[in-house]
Amino acid sequence: MSTVPVPLRMVEVSGAEALWLLEGSSLGRLVYPQREPAVVRPSRHVWEYGRLIVRAPVQAAAVPATVTYHVDEIRAVHRTGWTVTVHGPVDVLSDANEISHHRRTLPGWTHGPHDTLLRLHPQSVTGFRLARVET
């Protein structure tokens, strides 16, 4: 006996709810253009004082002035989930104390020149939640 899958759609959530979902997660993807194609890097993040601190395996010199950060949690079995995209200017952390704090608290993939901590200043936040279609 099998059940008929329920049709789903993406419903836009408010900016406050999108930030709440973002705070509850720690794994995302840093997206930025480099020449023609977009570069996508797995990243860890933490929301602090209205800014997003991102630890990504990328060279600091390669990061442009504006980036996009994408986070999602989709549970295919339960057919639930959400996605949040944040876009805005970014700067590389330079304070030694702040860097050492975030390296201790945010796990990274690499160490050395390809391990960069960034502070993203959100200009736009967009979020969607997977919802059942009302019939």
Give the domains, in start order, of the chain with CATH numbers.
Answer: 15-130 (2.30.110.10)
Q: Are 87 and 72 in contact (CB under 8 A)?
A: no
Beta pairing, strands 51-56 & 116-120: antiparallel
Residues (pLDDT < 50) of the chain are: none
- pTM of the full predicted structure? 0.85
Single out the residue of 122, 108, 113 nearest to residue 45, CA to CA: 108
Q: What is the structure's pLDDT at 74? A: 86
The pLDDT value given to residue 135: 62
Task: Give the burial class of 104: count Cβ atoms within 10 A of its Cβ; 0-12 exposed, 13-18 middle, 19 or more buried.
Answer: exposed
Tokens of residue 17, six digits? 């709810």
